[in-house]
Amino acid sequence: MTAAPLRAARAKRHQPDTSSKIDIMGPMTFQPPGTTPPPPRDSARTDEIRKVAADLFQSAGYSSTTMNEIAKATGILPGSLYHHFASKEEIAIEIMEAFNRGLTDLAARLAKQQRSRVGSAQEELRRFAAEATAFSFEHGAAIRLRAYEAPTVATSRLREAMDFVPRGLGKVWNTSINDMLTEAGVTFAHRGLLRYALLNATLTASMTHEPGSDAADLARRTCDLLLTGASPNPPSWDELDASPALRAAEDAIARWKAPLADPPANSREAIMLAARSEFARRGYSATTIRDVANAAGIRMGTLYRRVDSKEQILSEILGDYSSQLDDAVRSVLGSGSTAVEGLDGMARLFITASRRFREESEIVKLGWIGREADSNPFRDYYLQTQKRLALWEKLFEDGQANGSIRPVAPPQDLAIDVRTLLWIPFRDHARTSEARAHEFLRCTLLRGALTP
């Protein structure tokens, strides 16, 4: 047995993230490559089937959804379903191609609005954020499909549809941001990161917030946090550097255990390493236990002598991840610091966590739809997340009560909004360092990009 498969699995952990295809700049493209116009056979029934399938893909996942389930949810016989679609993949392709056309149309529409701007540049940017957020919720199934690599058995047509790169959106946002800062008379050193944050927060909103969320209000809150900041009078950077919260964050980061870099072949640790990589790349539901064995370079019999099941592997991975994160969060928020200092400490913590626990955060990045169910393998992690969110809420309740945190939103909404911004993978934007990402979050989330 060679160690080559193991080395390949480890190498994947250090490859650039390809799941986020939003941070794109370039010329406008009006017909996405690899897509086709809507099929001429469209009918009311076909549209209904496509919509039902999209809802199932978004809630249960593409790999976990069967054609029989789609037929049952639509109220037709499985045989009748095949008169409309030859396969589940054909439905997914049409969902993805509709998303790609919509994304191209969105870029064109925003560019047109920009050429005949009504109101200020800031008002325009906020409108763009609202439209992008609404688009994310409208195409939630496609957003989820794009979150991970295409299934191993996917055809080239599905892969092309999933790998579509939107053109023009980056240019539109850049123009709005530059014009907004010019109008405000503000010099801001992190314009690229601001664009990156706005694009990610708006176009992936359906992954981070519950279906049915008010897209316009969510976009407003996101813009308020980044443009005007959470604090009306934040401390100086020197004061924040000396805060108990930041010291607690640094101490907690130092306690985080690093996984074995080179576990012995055929070992349990090697299996866990391979599984973490596969779950992060494919998504948990789309990964089979054989995928894990192949990635670890071992036989199925050897794997089952080391672990009981895929569910046990996930439970162990998420249990270790959650306990380390929980210890760090409680250390920062229990440091006796002010609400603003606590928020700064959490920013420092999450910037490093997104790098140290990159694969774990990829595994759980689809939010929490249905994860409170007893049968869901993510249930324990979901419940632990809810407890951490309660600590966030208390932080914002205290801050809003004493006036140190703006009433941008109720504490329960603010907790989710801020956590979403902190988990943005800033590392993937021009190799942004941890120090620069922390500086950006201080300049936006604490002070506000429009604050002189």
DSSP per-residue letters across 165-183: ---SHHHHHHHHHHHHHHH
Kindly state whether residues 146 and 279 are assigned to the same domain: no
- What rounded mean pLDDT belongs to the chain? 90
Q: Indicate if the pLDDT at residue 136 is higher than 50.
A: yes
Does residue 62 fall inside a structural domain?
yes
Does residue 267 fall inside a structural domain?
yes
Does residue 4 fall inside a structural domain?
no
Kindly state whether residues 147 and 250 are assigned to the same domain: no
Kindly state whether residues 193 and 322 are assigned to the same domain: no
CA-to-CA separations, 213 to 216, 219, 223, in angstroms, rounded: 9, 11, 16
Does residue 231 fall inside a structural domain?
no
Range of the domain at 35: 22-203
Give the mean pLDDT of 332-352: 98
CATH of the domain at 58: 1.10.357.10
Kindly state whether residues 272 and 144 are assigned to the same domain: no
* Band of pLDDT at residue 369, cut at 50, 70 and 90: low
Give the mean pLDDT of 352-377: 82
Kindly state whether residues 59 and 127 are assigned to the same domain: yes
Does residue 213 fall inside a structural domain?
no
Domain boundary among 183, 203, 223: 203
Kindly state whether residues 296 and 442 are assigned to the same domain: yes
pLDDT at 372: 60
Does residue 15 fall inside a structural domain?
no
Give tens-digit pLDDT for 4-31.
444 444 444 334 333 344 443 333 333 4
Kindly state whether residues 136 and 198 are assigned to the same domain: yes
- Looking up tokens 């774990």 gives 360
Contact 113, 102 (CB under 8 A): no
pLDDT at 366: 83
Contact 240, 414 (CB under 8 A): no
Distance CA 17, CA 20 (A): 7
Kindly state whether residues 182 and 329 are assigned to the same domain: no
CA nearest neighbour of 230 among 221, 238, 239: 221
Q: Indicate if the pLDDT at residue 43 is higher than 90.
A: no
Q: Residues of the chain with pLDDT > 70: what percent?
A: 89
Give the mean pLDDT of 144-171: 93
Split into its structural domains, the chain has a count of: 2
Kindly state whether residues 320 and 372 are assigned to the same domain: yes
Give the mean pLDDT of 305-328: 96
pLDDT at 394: 98
Q: What is the pTM of this model?
A: 0.88
* Band of pLDDT at residue 262, cut at 50, 70 and 90: confident
Give tens-digit pLDDT for 280-309.
999 999 999 999 999 999 999 999 999 999
Give the N- to C-terminal CA distance of the chain in Å, as an integer.
62
Kindly state whether residues 197 and 255 are assigned to the same domain: no
In 288-338, where does DSSP find H-type helix?
289-296, 300-306, 310-333
Q: Indicate if the pLDDT at residue 159 is higher than 70.
A: yes
Contact 259, 273 (CB under 8 A): yes
Domain boundary among 203, 221, 248: 203
Domain boundary among 203, 225, 247: 203
Does residue 36 fall inside a structural domain?
yes
**49: three-class secondary structure by DSSP:** helix
Q: How many CB atoms lie within 10 A of CB 372?
A: 12
Q: Residues of the chain with pLDDT > 90: what percent?
A: 83
Kindly state whether residues 243 and 182 are assigned to the same domain: no
Does residue 302 fall inside a structural domain?
yes
CA nearest neighbour of 228 among 196, 272, 184: 184
Kindly state whether residues 193 and 267 are assigned to the same domain: no
pLDDT at 375: 73
